[in-house]
Amino acid sequence: MRYDLAVIGAGPGGYVAAIRAAQLGMKVAVIESREAGGTCLNRGCIPTKTLLHSAEAFDRMRHCEALGLSVSGCGYDMEKMHARKNEIVGQLRSGIEQLFRANKIDLYRGTGIILSAGAVAVKGEGSEETVEAGKILIATGSKPAVPPVPGLDLPGVLTSDGLLAGPADPKRLLIIGGGVIGVEFASLYQRLGCEVTIVEALDRLLPNMDREISQNLSMIFKKRGVSVHTSARVEEIVQEGEALVCRFTEKGKPGEAAAERILLAIGRRAATEGLFAEGVSVETERGAVKVNERFETSLPGVYAIGDVIFGGVQLAHAASAEGIAAVEGMAGEAPSVNLSVVPSCIYTEPEIASAGITADEAKQRGAAVKTGKFIMTANGKTLIEGADRSFVKLVFSAEDDRLLGAQLMCPRATDLISELAAAIANGLTGRQLASVIRPHPTFCEAVTEAVEAASGKAIHAAPPRR
């Protein structure tokens, strides 16, 4: 059967692109070797956040006396936590497949191999068929990166995929990597009472985030008993009795830490292995597919989006937006999404979110900026919920007052960031943001305070020193 578009991969980039293409009148096929929903739904975002929610509830019960409550026999069941996770994942996965049927999208089960600019072989168990299409969209995503460190093949050394498969319940967990994946798993297991150690090669946690966020998270982790080693290069992992021992060099000095399980969380790399038939290729860099501004590869008619592309942002919502933009471009329409502002969210406690640029990035670009910051200890909702040290920081252009960036580390930061991303994308000014009446008591009141702090007019903060 011939299609207008064949999408390889049914993750958040692929399935969203397929549905939008069908809405635009295209006949669409989706080719997926595993489950609909991709890594995000099955082995990433949704499973992680489901377990984090359970761990947060357990941690709140353990400390509920401060709220005037008492709970006896407080405990958790890791198998039941994973069962709930699997139920939620299954429900969402089923919803995607129903959407395919509703939009008359054909789902092919098997591995997609690009034979040419107009044909994809689908290899299943003991079968193979060819799907012909006017255009092909690569949305194969990424997989955990594994460096050449001795001992990573030992039992008990896992990637995020393995740890989320469950139901491992270690009492001591060592995490290699202090990026988004590493700190979320650290937060998850620390809340369950696990002894957590993080070993990060760079000089701070979350090295791609605002420096103050990194520093604040390190202080909170230290307060909660998480051991953090930065500027630490892992040398090897060895088995000593029943323990796994990670040996590393920290700031030039040898160190080691033992654990029951070791999580390898140094990032992800593009999943392109076996994607092209012999004699067929596209231009790549460091294993990732290079695309132009229309998401077209060096092979005309073949496009790519999401984690698989070089220089892209490895986030589910970025992949979805790119998928929409790519197929709208194929249909001759202007993109309906603004790809210039992609919010980033991290589900620690408190949550972390950012959009746009930081003050340091503005300085590197030579842009004059002013910042407004509000510490959440003066926010009533924050005190009610007993959140750790939190803040909202906004970066404005000193020339025209436009909002250029937002960095949040506070409760509900991952929800609050959408208002600020919309403001950045639409060039709103501090004056326009300050004109909005935000309800009380809410976390979003902090946005007003941070906006007004940029001009020295925050109500619930002491006047700046002269």
The pair of three-digit structure tokens given for residue 71, joined into one six-digit string:
């709970």
CA-only gyration radius of the chain, Å: 24
440 assigned to active site: yes
Q: From the candidates 53, 229, 317, 440, give the one annotated as an active-site residue.
A: 440
DSSP string, 411-450: TTHHHHHHHHHHHHHTT-BHHHHHTSPPPSSSTTHHHHHH
| Distance (Å, whole) CA 418 – CA 7 | 29
23-41 burial, b at 16+ Cβ within 10 Å, e below that, comes to ebebbbbbbbbebbbbbbb
Phi, psi of 157 (to 5 degrees): -95, 115
Query: CA-CA distance, 199 to 194, in Å (whole number)?
Result: 16
End-to-end CA distance of the chain: 74
Token pair of 447, please?
């946005």
For Cα atoms 272, 274, 280, give the angle at the middle one, nearest 5 degrees: 90
Alpha carbon distance 154, 150 (integer Å) = 9
3-class SS at 140? coil
Residues 22 and 30: their CA atoms lie apart, in Å, by 11
- Cβ–Cβ < 8 Å for 141, 32: no
Which residues does the annotation mark as catalytic? 440
